[in-house]
Each structure stands twice: as structure tokens, then as C-alpha cells.
A and B are shown apart, each in its own frame.
Chain A
């Protein structure tokens, strides 16, 4: 296995899929000559040329709508949002056009697009640049939402998303771009909608995804060592489709649940999970479902305080201890 950064893994997925299918194009602001605002697409212009790797103007509604239109004719555009936060200026194209066109055409049209880019807080860029819209996106039937935590998952899931015939929204994380991980040398397609148990345990299930997987694993380590508590960490990897069977199996084993998410609490992914767990595993629970989310306010700028606003290892620890108390 090669050791790649999360950034390199995404780049490798893009390169492999661009090479495999000439209908795949990468569109976005600064993706070509600048090599991507976060250098994800470095080297792709040189390899695939300007017809495949396309610098767009700062025009999210325009180029995403254009990609949706092109996808109706079989082009498979991967569109980079410099930050997912900017989806709001293209909301109509993403969630009216891409999400609805199949339905409103009675199934005559499909929209094989991928929109990808980072969606996270923690980099002190303030409220406008720190949105985590996975719950908003997943609220729209017709779309798929993927939030990978590791290099391996990022690569295998992005490849699947590019081949998928439904609109896929792929939420990366600027803080994870430099994280290294093992990635198989041979081609790996990780199916969308398959969760991954990143650590097995018997006393508490932490259901999480994205960067919170890393916090949860670090906290689980400490809980094991210092508190003799065995934690199972379920990484959802995909929000919609949702692998609820893996969640359920873990809950039936540990009987206690903590959901950890980098989301504002109201109507979050965790809210949906909590509803489903109580509905389908009520009798398995030894206590109420706990949740740790982002503190409910716009993202604060102040660097040391933003760390406290988001889930972090001490906050996960505290929440886990409360969940098993």
C-alpha cells in the first residue's frame, strides 16, 4: 500500500477517472493553471489539457448550471467548489435543477454530476466560509452525499461518485487535505452507502463521519486507556444513501450511542440518525441517545475559541463519558 495524503488520494481518483472516461471533465475556479485553491488538482492540466481541466470564472450558478445541462447530454462533469460554503449562490442549480430534473421528467433524464470541495470549520475563516451543508443537501431526494474521513475512503468513494449516474455531492475537508493514510495500489471502488467500523468496541457506539472520525478515534483511545471503556467508532462515510444496518448492528452490541458531527444541531444529520435509532432500536438502548455537535452559532473567527466551538477530542471525551454514565 502507498501512503498518500487525503489531497493526493483525491487527485489520484480524479486522474484515474479522467483517464478512464473521456466524458469526465473537471470544472472550477482555479482548478487548472493555479492547480486548485487547495492544490487538489495539481498536475491535471498538464496531463489532460485545457479541454478536460477547465478554469471557470467566479460564477458558481453559471458553471454548475452549465455542468448540469451538459450532464443531461452524457458529459460527466466534476465541479469543484472552492468552498462548499459557496453552494448558496448556486443553490437553485444544485437543488432545483440537479436534484429534481430526473423526477420532473418522469425518469427520462439523469444527471451524472459530482460537485466536490471542502466543507468544514476550524480554519478561522469566519461564518461565510465554514458551512457544513451535508444535512441541507441530503434533505433533497434524488441526490447523494459523501463525506470521507481518510485518504483511502476519499479515493475509493470519489471514483464511485464519478461513475454514479445520480448527482453526487462530495464534501472534503481542508484540515484533512494533508492527513496521510494507506491507499491500496490496485484500483479500489468503495460503494456509496457503506459505512466503515473504524474501531470495534463493546461499551459505546460513536456514530460519526468526516473529520469527527479522527476526533472520535483519538478519544476512544483515551477512553480505553484511562477509563477502561471500549468504544466502537462507526464512520458513515456516506450520508445519503445511509448504511443504517451497520449503525443498528453496533447499537445492538453496545446499547449506548453518541453521535458526533461537525454540524449545527438543529435538524442535523445527527437529528435524523437519532430519530432512526430510537425508532428501530428503542428496546436495545440502555440510555438516551447523546449527541455532540458544533456549538449553535455562526462559525466564530477567534482561533482558540473556534476550536472549542467545533467537536474536538476533549469535547468527545466528555460527551462519551456522559453517554455511558
Chain B
């Protein structure tokens, strides 16, 4: 069954609806200096080269467990995270490498985490699905489908409780929208006017199940209407369009505490995880078509070349630097030590990790 087209945007709120001209001409993009545009491109390229390098590491058995690649979806994480202000927060599911790089995490620590090394961003305790960077307002990296969405709603609750001007972006896949916890979170966000944008990255499939075979109703974002929330959709292969759309909904959240659901049409080229042989539920032709006509890096590179912002030489240089960065990350990961057995019981309790401030008594660990 082929991927279903995302219905056209029809947000309830007039402000959100007003979309003048092409996405590139939207103020949020038009006002972006050339350096900013190049940075968007660079981020997407760095993400892709990082993930390609991680795939090779996985194939040479340097990485255990699951590895969910984001290749093909880069414009979504990069576009959304590029809009973050100081009080904006991001949380996502297990397909979390891109958001991590997009918010500014160090690829060395990310690769080391995949290798299970102590120098990893979670000291080798989280793995691919559980990247976190609180200092960058990045709250994971969550392995249970839909389980992160109430947490994202809580980030928005905290921002509002503190009377800060900010918003949370809570990302999920097209399969996650059918989880009860997601609907509980929608209801709370709408009921209490929490500044959260629920971002549905619709890549057409939840593992091997197409949207047609898993989700009832006309569209995924449209479910927001049941909760009286604004919603919108966008073509997620164009980083300009992602930014233009998300900017409107983030502004509604930050300025008016209006939550929303935004469904972003995207596509993953690789299997669900590296373990997915990807042979039964979609055609080679479908994948090839996306690669050829909608690749987010190609689409944006072509736009920037046409604008004269990017030259072929600079594009080549950005790519070479990204390849080198990924290689360096792999070398760093390779050279780093594993955690020790003694490390297993660290980072379990705040109190144990801060013994001078411990107030409880008694045994916290058992054998």
C-alpha cells in the first residue's frame, strides 16, 4: 500500500491560515541572512553523513540494539529546531539523532553513545533511542511510542507556570497518533491552553504498516479539531516550508498559549530500523521516486544555488566537512572506553550521585 497524501492545510485559526506567497518568501525565511540559510543546509548534510557513518558502524557490529535512521526526513528536525528561542523545548521519540544534531549536540558524544561508551551523551546508558541535552532544551529521545507526548505537554506546562514566553515541540510519528497517551495530552494541552506544538512526522509508515492500515479518519492533524485545537499540514521536504508553517504555530503557542497539531509530510529512505529488511510493505519505485524528486537536501541545495546563496564549491566543501566530522566522531567513539561495571549503578538516584546532599537513609540498592 503506497503512502497516503497529507490533506491540505486548513487551520481553524485565521492567523495560522494566512500564508502569503511561497515558503521562501515568508518573513521567517526571507529575513534569514545567507549564513543562516547555509547553516540549515549544513545541518541537514551533517545529520545525513553522521547517520550514514553510524550505519557503517552498525554493520561492522560496533553498535548494538536498534538504530532508527532519519535519512530522508532531515528538513523536518532542522527546520523546526532552527526556530527555537531560549524558552523553547524539544522532545521526540526514538528516531532522535537528527533533532539532537539540530539543537546543537556534539556528534562525538552522539556517536560514542551509539558505541555504548562512557563518553557518550548519556554515558552509554541510553543508546540510540535515548539522547538528551537539557542544557540545549532537548529532552529526549524516548523509546515508547507516544510515551513522550505527555512529557512534552509537561514542558509546556512548566514554561507557562513560570510565565515565560516559550513553547514545547513534541514530535511523534504517524503511528504514535493512535496511542491513548497522545490523546490524553491533546486534551490537557487544549483544556489548559498550554504552549505546545504537537508535530506529527508523517513518513507514511509505522514500521511496516501504512497510514491507511493504521489510522482512521481523513487526516492525522485534523484530529486536533476534536479538541478545539488549531492544526496544519506541510510539505516536509522543503525546509523553507517547514519553517514557514511551524513559525506560525510556534508563534500562536508562545504569544497566545494556543496549542496545535502540525502534520509534516516526509519520508524515510531506510527501513524502520537497520534490522528491517524493508522488502514487504512498500516498493523500491516509491523510495526511488522520493529520493529523486523530493530529497530535502537536494531540494534545498537547488534552492540555495538558484538564490546564489550557495555555490557548487561551497556545497562540496560542506559535504566534505560533514564526512570528516562523522569520521572523527567514529574515531572518537572507537577510542573511548566503555563504562565500567561500577558505573552501572550510577545515575540511578539523584541522591546517590550527590552524596553530600543526601537526606534519606537506608539501602537504595539490593542484590
Q: Give chain A's interface residues, CB within 8 Å of chain B.
A: 25, 51, 56-57, 59, 61-75, 92-93, 96-97, 101-110, 112, 141-142, 144, 160, 163-166, 189, 191-195, 238, 240-245, 272, 276
Which of chain A's residues have a CB closer than 8 A to the CB of B361? 191-194, 241, 243
Asked whether A104 and B158 contact (CB < 8 A) given A69-B150, A240-B364, A243-B362, the answer is: no
Which of chain B's residues have a CB closer than 8 A to the CB of A240? 364
Return the CB mask of B97-109 against A: 1 if under 8 Å, else 0. 0000000000000
Return the CB mask of B347-367 against A: 1 if under 8 Å, else 0. 111110110000111111110
| In-complex Cβ contact of A73 among B141, B155, B181, B347 (8 A) | B155
Return the CB mask of B109-136 against A: 1 if under 8 Å, else 0. 0000000000011111110001011100
Is there contact, CB below 8 Å, between B347 and A103? Answer: yes
Spot the interface stretch: B12-20, B184-192, B304-312, B313-321: B184-192
Tell me if B208 is interfacial: C-beta within 8 Å of chain A: no
Which of chain A's residues have a CB closer than 8 A to the CB of B89? 73
Asked whether A102 and B348 contact (CB < 8 A) given A69-B152, A243-B362, the answer is: yes
Is there contact, CB below 8 Å, between A59 and B187? Answer: yes
A100 to chain B: closest CB distance in Å? 9
Which residue from chain B places its CB closest to the CB of A238 in the assembled complex?
Answer: B362
Q: Which of B134, B187, B362 has the most CB of A within 10 A?
A: B362
A79 to chain B: closest CB distance in Å? 11
Closest 3 CB pairs of A and B: A69-B154, A65-B150, A193-B362
A267 to chain B: closest CB distance in Å? 13
Is there contact, CB below 8 Å, between A242 and B363? Answer: yes
Which residue from chain A places its CB closest to the CB of B113 in the assembled complex?
Answer: A106
Return the CB mask of B29-65 against A: 1 if under 8 Å, else 0. 0000000000000000000000000000000000000
Q: Which of A73, A103, A109 has the most CB of B within 10 A?
A: A73
Asked whether A70 and B154 contact (CB < 8 A) given A102-B349, A166-B349, the answer is: yes
Is there contact, CB below 8 Å, between A241 and B364? Answer: yes
Is there contact, CB below 8 Å, between A103 and B350? Answer: no
Tell me if B303 is interfacial: C-beta within 8 Å of chain A: no
Which of chain A's residues have a CB closer than 8 A to the CB of B122? 104-106, 108
Which of chain A's residues have a CB closer than 8 A to the CB of B120? 106
- In the bound assembly, the distance between CA atoms of A104 and B144 in angstroms comes to 13
Tell me if B198 is interfacial: C-beta within 8 Å of chain A: no
Is there contact, CB below 8 Å, between B154 and A66? Answer: yes
Which of chain A's residues have a CB closer than 8 A to the CB of B125? 103-106
Show 23 A/B contacts (Cβ-Cβ < 8 Å), sorted by A. Answer: A25-B161, A61-B180, A62-B185, A63-B188, A65-B151, A66-B153, A67-B154, A70-B158, A72-B139, A93-B150, A97-B151, A101-B140, A105-B122, A108-B134, A109-B132, A141-B345, A141-B349, A142-B348, A144-B360, A164-B360, A165-B350, A166-B350, A189-B359
Interface Cβ pair total, 8 Å cutoff: 197
Q: Give chain B's interface residues, CB within 8 Å of chain A.
A: 89, 91, 120-126, 130, 132-134, 139-144, 147-155, 157-159, 161-162, 180-181, 184-185, 187-188, 191, 345-351, 353-354, 359-366
Which of chain B's residues have a CB closer than 8 A to the CB of A96? 143-144, 147
- In the bound assembly, the distance between CA atoms of A72 and B148 in angstroms comes to 12
- In the bound assembly, the distance between CA atoms of A81 and B221 in angstroms comes to 31
| In-complex Cβ contact of B181 among A57, A92, A164 (8 A) | A92
Which residue from chain A places its CB closest to the CB of B366 in the assembled complex?
Answer: A272
- In the bound assembly, the distance between CA atoms of A47 and B188 in angstroms comes to 24
Q: Which of A106, A107, A166, A241 has the most CB of B within 10 A?
A: A106
B84 to chain A: closest CB distance in Å? 15
B337 to chain A: closest CB distance in Å? 14
- In the bound assembly, the distance between CA atoms of A125 and B302 in angstroms comes to 67
Which of chain B's residues have a CB closer than 8 A to the CB of A56? 188
- In the bound assembly, the distance between CA atoms of A165 and B150 in angstroms comes to 20
| In-complex Cβ contact of A160 among B139, B148, B353, B359 (8 A) | B359
Which of chain B's residues have a CB closer than 8 A to the CB of A66? 150-151, 153-154, 157, 185, 188
- In the bound assembly, the distance between CA atoms of A256 and B10 in angstroms comes to 73
A167 to chain B: closest CB distance in Å? 10
| In-complex Cβ contact of A59 among B121, B147, B188, B351 (8 A) | B188
Which residue from chain B places its CB closest to the CB of A62 in the assembled complex?
Answer: B184
A194 to chain B: closest CB distance in Å? 5
B77 to chain A: closest CB distance in Å? 19
